[in-house]
Amino acid sequence: DQQVKQNSPSLSVQEGRISILNCDYTNSMFDYFLWYKKYPAEGPTFLISISSIKDKNEDGRFTVFLNKSAKHLSLHIVPSQPGDSAVYFCAASALNYGGSQGNLIFGKGTKLSVKP
Amino acid sequence: DGGITQSPKYLFRKEGQNVTLSCEQNLNHDAMYWYRQDPGQGLRLIYYSQIVNDFQKGDIAEGYSVSREKKESFPLTVTSAQKNPTAFYLCASSIVGTSGNTIYFGEGSWLTVV
């Protein structure tokens, strides 16, 4: 059973507009969430993270929102650029529970295409 | 430059052969990980190690083996027992602690069984 779900396998956005990537989770013990960006045949690169004590974290064009009651997080990219075209993975861990619970669980990814 | 180096980038293996993928990091990270990516499957954890001379099975450890003799190195052996080894393999590392478990990935290794 998937603990981290990215229900949209793909998303297409016009350059300059907002991209919103969504992620849902089922494990209420998750307390740390991350987004990674991945180009084909390369390793994922870390984008932004958020702890469960916050509901928003911003870094430049990237903002992550966390809704704990809905077990939902989203990544907003504003404005979107063609270079943002990649696969985005959401990940979660139960960090404060220690041991193997601290390992990241990844969603299946959403492929973002930003059209010029 | 600090980072995670995986080698080889591309590897072809005949059925029935074992093959070892190398992973070296100079980030002084305590924990290291091996993930596998298949199309539409996201990233799945094979093995992880939080300290030298200790490692744990992840979600899909069958047909794989690892060793952690040095902090910097975490090689993965894909054995002939792995039924579907063709995939993109990713090594990663992180600092062990409660400040945030951000892991950093290498560039990946493509393994194709022919």
**pLDDT of amino acid B98:** 53
**pLDDT of amino acid A112:** 98
The residue type found at B100 is G
Place of tokens 């180096």: B5
**pLDDT of amino acid B42:** 84
Confidence check: pLDDT of B77 > 90: yes
Compare B82 and A16 and report the one with higher pLDDT: A16
> Distance (Å, rounded) from C-alpha A47 to C-alpha A88?
9
Mean predicted confidence (pLDDT) in B81-101: 83
Average pLDDT for runs of 10 along chain A of length 116: 90 98 95 93 93 95 97 98 97 75 86 96
The answer, for A92 touching chain B at a CB cutoff of 8 Å, is: no
pLDDT band, very low/low/confident/very high, at B41 (cuts 50, 70, 90) = confident
Residue A95 has its nearest CB partner, among B58, B101, B106, at B101
CA distance to A85, A90, B31, B35, B77, per residue, from A40 (Å)? 11, 17, 25, 16, 24
Q: Is B85 exposed, middle or buried (0-12, 13-18, 19+ CB in 10 A)?
A: buried
**pLDDT of amino acid A104:** 87
Give percent above pLDDT 90 in chain B: 71
Residues of A in contact with B105 (CB under 8 A): 36, 43-45
Residues of A in contact with B3 (CB under 8 A): none
Chain A stretch 33-72, residues whose beta carbon is closer than 8 A to a beta carbon of chain B: 34, 36, 41-46, 49, 51
**pLDDT of amino acid B80:** 87
The residue type found at B31 is A
Residues of B in contact with A109 (CB under 8 A): 42
Contact A46 B104 (CB under 8 A): yes
pLDDT band, very low/low/confident/very high, at B99 (cuts 50, 70, 90) = low
- A interface mutation test: which of B43, B48, B55 has the most A CBs within 10 A? B43
Confidence check: pLDDT of B31 > 80: yes
**pLDDT of amino acid B82:** 86
User: What is the pLDDT of chain B when averaged over all its residues?
Assistant: 91
- DSSP code of residue A15: T
Compare B99 and B22 and report the one with higher pLDDT: B22
**pLDDT of amino acid A100:** 64
The answer, for B62 touching chain A at a CB cutoff of 8 Å, is: no
**pLDDT of amino acid A2:** 82
Confidence check: pLDDT of B51 > 60: yes
**pLDDT of amino acid A97:** 62
> Distance (Å, rounded) from C-alpha A43 to C-alpha A33?
19
**pLDDT of amino acid A95:** 72
Counting one residue from A and one from B, how many pairs have CB atoms under 8 Å apart?
56
**pLDDT of amino acid A68:** 95
- Three-state SS string over B48-68 comes to EEEECCEEEECCCCCCEEECC
